[in-house]
Amino acid sequence: MVDRLKGKTAIVFGAGSSEPGWGNGKAAAVAYAREGAQVACIDLVQGAAEETAAIITHEGGVALALAADVTNMNSIEIAVDRTIDAFGRIDILHNNVGVTHMGGPVELSEEQFRAALDLNIGPVYRSAKAVIPHMLRQGGGAIINISSLAAIRWTGYPYFAYYATKAAVNQATVALAMQYARSGIRANCIMPGLIDTPLIYRQISGQYSSVEDMVAARNAAVPLGRMGTAWDIAHAAVFLASDEARFITGICLPVDGGQSCAVSEFH
């Protein structure tokens, strides 16, 4: 710990993990705390938020656990207000919520497509609407949106809505960065490549004959020879949130083991 975020408050939407293990949001929340930030851990499931907050407090950090539905503006506003009540400010806004629905436009139901819009790009709008006024009053802040390599590349999976909505996250981040640059608010997004998190075993493994085949195929597709972990994403987020990145805004950073540079699937 080097306290790069000492005195700052982070609010992490999607701070819980859907299954045992380390998801991207859970790791980011803990990583922020390990660098000295107070962290509001927000998740749809109160218990998941509490689990992450408990890890932080057990390590000597300061955390608040809250349940919120990121598809509901009022729910987000309540979470933001409670964070302000507890900590007095919000310096880092981290958006981690997302969902995949397999299928192209022919296979997807309209309900699934609308759900992808609501869960992948909707929270970026709603959380920004709720948090940016506080950042403006403070004189600045940092926004970290978690996108995906799927925003800029065909990744081999037939999830039309995911590609479209993650591309929207990228450009929404650029729009935030440019609109609020003169106000001291930086906005950047991270594009994870193939990451070994609990989510892939629930949402992706059905595309393979077995879990073992999935892991082997995903490892082989990465030039570095292995999937990344949630900590790879968390460490990038800490850097982008810190003053070390004070001259960086509007970027969409691949954290992908080189996969975005490869012309074809690696073996």
pLDDT band with cut points at 50, 70 and 90 for residue 264: low
Taking CA atoms, 165 is separated from 118, 150, 205, in Å, by 9, 9, 21
pLDDT per residue over 130-169, tens digit each? Answer: 999 999 999 999 999 999 999 999 988 899 999 999 999 9
Which residue in the list 162, 163, 180, 201 is annotated as catalytic?
162
Kindly tell me if the per-residue pLDDT of 263 is higher than 80.
no
pTM for the predicted model, two decimal places: 0.94
Residue 157 annotated as catalytic:
no
Taking CA atoms, 263 is separated from 107, 152, 165, 194, 213, in Å, by 28, 13, 23, 16, 22
Residue 254: what are its φ and ψ, rounded to 5°?
A: -70, 130
Q: How far apart are CA 179 and CA 224, in angstroms?
A: 37
Q: How far apart are CA 42 and CA 53, in angstroms?
A: 9
Q: Is 74 helix (H, G, I), strand (E, B) or coil?
A: helix
Kindly tell me if the per-residue pLDDT of 111 is higher than 80.
yes
pLDDT band with cut points at 50, 70 and 90 for residue 257: very high
Kindly tell me if the per-residue pLDDT of 211 is higher than 90.
no
pLDDT of residue 4: 96
Fold annotation for 9-194+230-260: Rossmann fold (3.40.50)
Share of the chain above pLDDT 70, in %: 97
How high is the mean pLDDT of the chain?
94
Q: How far apart are CA 90 and CA 5, in angstroms?
A: 12
Domain regions of the chain by residue span: 9-194+230-260
